[in-house]
Amino acid sequence: MTVDYSALPHHKILCVDMKSFYASCSAVMLGLDPLECYIAIVGDIERKGSVVLAASPKLKKEFGIKTGSRLFEIPNDPRIRLVEPKMATYLRISTEITRLFHRYVPKEAIHTYSVDESFIKVDGASRIWGDAHIIAKKIKDEIEREFQLPCAIGIGPNMLLSKLCLDLEAKKHGIAEWTYEDVQEKLWEISPLSEMWGIGKRLERTLNRMGIFSVGQLARYDLEKLERKFGVMGNQLYHHAWGVDLSDIGAPIMEGQVSFGKSQILLRDYKEEEEVKHVILEMCEEVARRSRIHGKAGRTISLGIGYSQEEFGGGFHRSRTIDEPTNITMDLYKTCLELFKENYVQKTVRKISITLSNIVEDHELQLSLFEMNRMRKRELGFTMDAIRRRYGSGALLRAVSYTDAGTARHRARLVGGHKS
């Protein structure tokens, strides 16, 4: 099969990424050059096991420290500065950068993908500002002049190719552009598959077992077999391998990967089963709340448990698909408890993750003839959400959050999960 690219959208979309955003912001606040200093943003500098949230480019390159590293992995070098996060400040700077984009395009042409990454459709702005390269350079120069922050910008005919261009070329050169003509030469050569945006390690292993090791092999694989294996996502994987993406600005690029999840590295080792269950309940509450906010429900519930490094790490990640979609906290909790009971091996727990996937619209949630108060439970969830929206996430908590094991009270005081 070959794709008729002439029939596809030929937009000019910029994908703007702020380099090591948290670290760069803190560097500027300290009067340092973000590209020349050695800074690590650490969740809590008092805890040796605390996670590195961001590292400056030089710290990544010369010391191998990156997001997800631990504090104890950072060498004792006088050039390295450890800084706790200032999340409220980072968010304010991110908002100001978005306002800078408004100088070039209307707000409906901007999609803030994350605190440090945005998509901008500049199709209609070329007659005012020049072509996409000129606009990208103007934006890059203004961000550096006004905020002293470095960025990289990928340009593509759709959101997918602009993102891939950013990750695979623009981050090395500052600004780069991919067109449909670049797909076979630049996209198909990507291997391992996890370097392709949207393909994680678990999906990569599955594709490898099917004999697919590069994006080019994925593009030439039988489409019907991919759809039988992965459903809608199989169709998307195939077309993304050809550089095809029909989503509008603001829409998720991988519709088939929509899920709601929460992952938490615990502040201490949890040795008692009951303590772990308390945190699981708090996290089920948060995952269910997020799905309700988006008007969604899900059928597949996943629980991940990571054991302490002091007990040589390890853990498990298991999923279970239930008969009816749900966004009710106690439905998630019941399934998570089943998975926990079946797989837990009495080791010290340091990390927990919970995900709700296999997503459908909330109105597809069915009433059970055998559980007459199911609708009442659903409505109770929405009522609790409304109270928290109005009075704050800590305004209404379950009793387990007031035990020594609970983490929700502490996290309610944070911004973006970290100190403000």
Q: What pLDDT, in 10s, does the model give residues 127-162?
A: 899 999 999 999 999 999 999 999 999 999 999 999
- What does the pLDDT look like over 1-58, one tens digit per residue? 678 898 898 999 999 999 999 999 999 999 999 999 999 999 888 888 788 989 999 9
Q: What is the CATH number of the domain that holds 165?
A: 3.30.70.270
Q: What is the CATH number of the domain that holds 319?
A: 3.30.1490.100
Which residue, among 312, 262, 314, has the nearest Cα to 289 in the 3D structure?
262
364 within a domain of the structure (yes/no): yes
Vertex 151, ends 148 and 154: CA angle to 5°?
A: 155
Which residue, among 227, 374, 407, 229, has the nearest Cα to 297 in the 3D structure?
374
**Percent with pLDDT over 70 in the chain:** 85
* 157: helix, strand or coil: coil
249 within a domain of the structure (yes/no): no
Residue keyed to tokens 């190719």: 161
Q: Do 62 and 138 fall into the same domain?
A: yes
- Residue pair 378/327 in contact (Cβ under 8 Å)? The answer is yes
35 within a domain of the structure (yes/no): yes
Question: Which residue would you say has higher pLDDT here, 396 or 273?
Answer: 273
* Rounded CA separation 35/83 (Å): 16
Q: Do 145 and 195 fall into the same domain?
A: no
Q: Do 90 and 137 fall into the same domain?
A: yes
Domain limit, last residue, from 157, 178, 199: 178
Q: Do 271 and 226 fall into the same domain?
A: no
Please give the single-letter amino acid code of residue 279: V
* 283: helix, strand or coil: helix
- What does the pLDDT look like over 237-246, one tens digit per residue? 999 999 998 8
5 within a domain of the structure (yes/no): no
Q: Do 89 and 224 fall into the same domain?
A: no
* Rounded CA separation 332/320 (Å): 10
Q: Do 347 and 392 fall into the same domain?
A: yes
- Residue pair 356/322 in contact (Cβ under 8 Å)? The answer is no
- Residue pair 40/74 in contact (Cβ under 8 Å)? The answer is yes
- In the structure encoding, which two tokens stand for residue 362, read together? 């909330």
Q: Do 411 and 264 fall into the same domain?
A: yes
H-assigned helices in 193-314: 201-209, 215-219, 223-230, 232-241, 273-293
For residue 369, name the pLDDT band (cuts at 50, 70, 90): very low
Q: Do 331 and 353 fall into the same domain?
A: yes
- In the structure encoding, which two tokens stand for residue 270, read together? 């949890």
377, pLDDT greater than 60: yes
Vertex 35, ends 34 and 40: CA angle to 5°?
A: 60
Q: What is the pTM of this model?
A: 0.68
- Residue pair 216/189 in contact (Cβ under 8 Å)? The answer is yes
Name the average pLDDT for the chain: 86
Q: Examine residue 85 and say whether the peptide bond preceding it is cis (omega within 30 degrees of 0).
A: no
How many structural domains is the chain composed of? Answer: 3
DSSP state of 229: H
Q: Do 108 and 43 fall into the same domain?
A: yes
Q: Do 230 and 314 fall into the same domain?
A: no
Q: Do 174 and 189 fall into the same domain?
A: no
| Domain coverage including residue 348 | 260-419
251 within a domain of the structure (yes/no): no
Q: Which residues are catalytic?
A: 117
276 within a domain of the structure (yes/no): yes
3-state helix, strand, coil in the chain (%, to 5): 45, 20, 35
Q: Do 210 and 129 fall into the same domain?
A: no
1 within a domain of the structure (yes/no): no
325 within a domain of the structure (yes/no): yes
* Rounded CA separation 291/279 (Å): 19
Residue keyed to tokens 């200032």: 86
- In the structure encoding, which two tokens stand for residue 179, read together? 């067109």
